[in-house]
Structure 1
Amino acid sequence: MDAAVAAIEESGPSGWSLRELARRAGVSHAAPAHHFGDKTGLLTALAAEGFGLLADALTAAGDGLLDLGVAYVRFAVRHRAYFEVMFRPELYRPDDPELTAARTRADELLGDAVRPLSPEPEAALAAWSIAHGFAGLWLSGALPPEVGTDPEAAARPVLGTLFPYDEDGRPAAEPPRER
C-alpha cells in the first residue's frame, strides 16, 4: 500500500503497474496480485483506507462544520494519493463492503454536522461540494497567488461563506435565509 501511495504521488493513479509496485516494495512480482487480485483490487483497498482516514480526520476536527471543512482540505493536501483515488469510482470496486462502510462513515459525519443548519440533503451536498472543490483547486494549483501558501488558512474564509459562523467556528444562531 505504501508503494502504491508513493507511485500515485509520482505519476497519478494509473501511471504504474503491480509489477512496478512489487519492485518498489521489495517483494516478489506475484505478491501484490496475491493480496489484492489486480490493480483494481489494490485501488479498492486504497480507497477504503482513504475513506477511513478521512472519517478519522473529520472525527478529530470536532462538531463545527467549518472545522470539518478545513479538516477535509487538510486531509486532501496531506493525503493527496488517497484523495486522488477516493473520488474516482471508475478506478475501484465501489460496491466493496469495506469501502462502502468507510465511505458511509465519512458521509454521515458530514451530514451530522450540516443537519443543525438544514435538514435538507442538498445542504450536505453543498458543504461537501465547496470543501471538495476548494481542495481540488488547491491541489491542481489553480487558485490565484493571493490566496497564500497555507491551504487551511486560505480555506477557512472560503468555506465560511457557505454557512454563517461565529468567531469560534460554530454555526451562527440564525441559519441562512432562503433566497
Structure 2
Amino acid sequence: MSTIIHMSKAYSIVNVSVKDKENLDYSLDVIMEGLEDIYRNFNFDNNNENRKRVDNLIEKSLEVPEGTLLLAKADQNIIGYSFSGKRVNEITGLRYPFIYALWVHPDWRAKFVGVRLLEKNIQLLEQRGFKLVAAQVNYNNKIKETFAPRFKFEPNSLIYTLSLADKKENEIDS
C-alpha cells in the first residue's frame, strides 16, 4: 500500500487479493456504484443478479495472473477502483489482461486518483510478465482523450452496437 497526498488530501492505493474477503465484501457496494455510473447508458443497475455477476467476475479474475483489484481509499472510504481480469482472443488464442473498470468518485476526479490507479494496475501486470494490456472505453468517455495518450494506449478496433429493440419491422434495408 502506498500513500499519496494531493492538495493536502491523503489517499492510499490498496491491492486486494482473493484472500482479502473483508475488502472484497466492503468494496462491492462502491464497485456497483461505479459500474452504474460507467454503464448508465446501458441501463445497468444495482440489482441482485448484477451484484452476483460482478462479485463472481471479481473473484474469478483475482484467481488468475491477469486479475487485479485496486482500491483508492481516503479515511477508510473507497474513492476509486480499478479491476482487471483475463481475456482470450478466440481466433489467435492470445491471453492477456483486460481492464474491466476504472472509476473514481466524482468528488475525487481531476485529482490524479485515476492516473495513480491505472499506473499501479499497469505496474502490477508488467511485474507479472505481461507485454500487453487492453481496456474498453465507452465512446463518449473523455478518458480516450486523456488517459489513452498519457499511457500510450492505442485504438485497436471499434465495436459498433445496434439496438434491435428500437428498430421497427422492415426498417433495415436489405
The two structures have a TM-score, normalised by structure 1, of 0.28
Structure with bigger RCO (C-alpha 8 Å, 6+ apart): 1
Higher strand share: 2
Q: As a proportion of its length, which structure holds more helix?
A: 1
- TM-score computed with the length of structure 2 as normaliser: 0.29
